[in-house]
């Protein structure tokens, strides 16, 4: 992922090592403990899933765990709110389907 | 006015909400039973107030909000 939307200030003050995780099979980088949605956004990924009813792209909307718009399948658990879930090394995130629950 | 989505979880549009009010819905549960608005993952957290105001605007009557029902957040069956 070439895109990087992190603030330069945050970049220089962050001495933490970036960790790798996957989004829909693609490897992306983020900081451990930050919300998954934030890590994705920092990599330029705003579309986390698509709407089951209209097929429009969906991503972070409220960002506080209220609206469930940023839900995704995280490590096999469906419909996890990515704005509320801390990132850890090797986390596997994929766009979840509204009507199909895997591994739950 | 553009036919915006009111209930983002279930993809219910403004025109569908208005149609259900014309059909006789006088409170949020009535709209919900007609077109599923408020039955998605967020359980009406985003759209309920909007639907309520639409009902009040269209009918001129105060519209009660729906009662909170357990479980208040979607949970896995395995966690229950």
Query: Positive or negative CA dihedral for B22, B24, B27, B33?
Result: negative
* Nearest-angstrom CA–CA distance, B10 and A91: 28
Residue A13: its pLDDT value, please? 63
Chain B residues whose CB is inside 8 A of the A52 CB are: 11
For residue B4, what is the nearest residue in chain A, using CA coordinates? A54
Residue B36: its pLDDT value, please? 92
Query: Positive or negative CA dihedral for A83, A51, A48, B2?
Result: negative
Read off the pLDDT of residues B8-19 as tens digits, 9 standing for 90 and up.
Answer: 888 899 999 999
CB-closest option in B10, B12, B41 to A71: B41
ipTM of the assembly? 0.71
CB-closest option in A53, A68, A77 to B42: A68
Residue A104: its pLDDT value, please? 39
């Amino acid at each position: 992922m070439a895109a990087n939307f992190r603030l330069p200030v945050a970049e220089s003050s962050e001495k933490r090592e970036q960790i790798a995780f996957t989004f829909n099979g693609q490897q992306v980088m983020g900081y451990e403990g930050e919300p998954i949605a934030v890590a994705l956004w920092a990599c330029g990924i705003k579309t986390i899933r698509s709407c089951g009813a209209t097929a429009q792209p969906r991503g972070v909307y409220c960002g506080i765990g209220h609206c469930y718009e940023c839900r995704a399948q995280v490590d096999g658990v469906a419909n996890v709110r990515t704005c509320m879930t801390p990132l850890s090394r090797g986390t596997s995130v994929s766009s979840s389907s509204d009507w199909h629950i895997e591994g739950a | 006015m553009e036919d915006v989505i009111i209930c983002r979880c279930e993809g219910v549009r403004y025109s569908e909400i208005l149609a259900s009010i014309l059909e006789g819905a006088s409170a949020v549960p009535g709209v919900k039973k007609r077109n599923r608005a408020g039955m998605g993952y967020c359980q009406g957290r985003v759209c309920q107030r909007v639907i309520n105001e639409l009902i009040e605007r269209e009918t001129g009557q105060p519209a009660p909000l729906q009662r909170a029902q357990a479980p208040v957040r979607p949970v896995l069956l395995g966690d229950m």
